[in-house]
Amino acid sequence: INIGAEGVCPEGGGAYTGAISAPMLKSVGVQWALAGHSERRVIYGETDDYINSQCVKLIEQGMSVMLCIGESLAEFEQDLAGSVCA
């Protein structure tokens, strides 16, 4: 059994209320984390640069990344998954 996380703050530490950093995840045994959720891209405006910084921090901590490249709900409902994820 592996332990994973649904998200990570790309900052190494500091006052980021409600966020969890890669070192914090590692300290509790997390081995991988998701990055790039389509919901977070839409709702929170997470950009490719932000998601890249999440991936870099996780890799620097020796964790694996599951990078999401999926479509939004609206794109899914319009059957656009193939073109969006191509």
pLDDT of residue 36: 92
Q: Is the pLDDT of residue 14 over 80?
A: no
Q: What are phi and psi of 6, to 5 degrees?
A: -85, -15
End-to-end CA distance of the chain: 31
pLDDT band at 3 (very low <50, low <70, confident <90, very high): very high
Say how far apart CA 4 and CA 33 lie, in whole Å: 5
More confident residue, 8 or 17: 8
> What is the per-residue pLDDT for 33?
96
Q: What residues does 32 pair with on adjacent strands?
A: 4, 64
Using 50, 70 and 90 to split pLDDT, how confident is the model at 56? very high
Rg (CA), the chain: 14
Q: Which residue has the tokens 């932000």?
A: 50
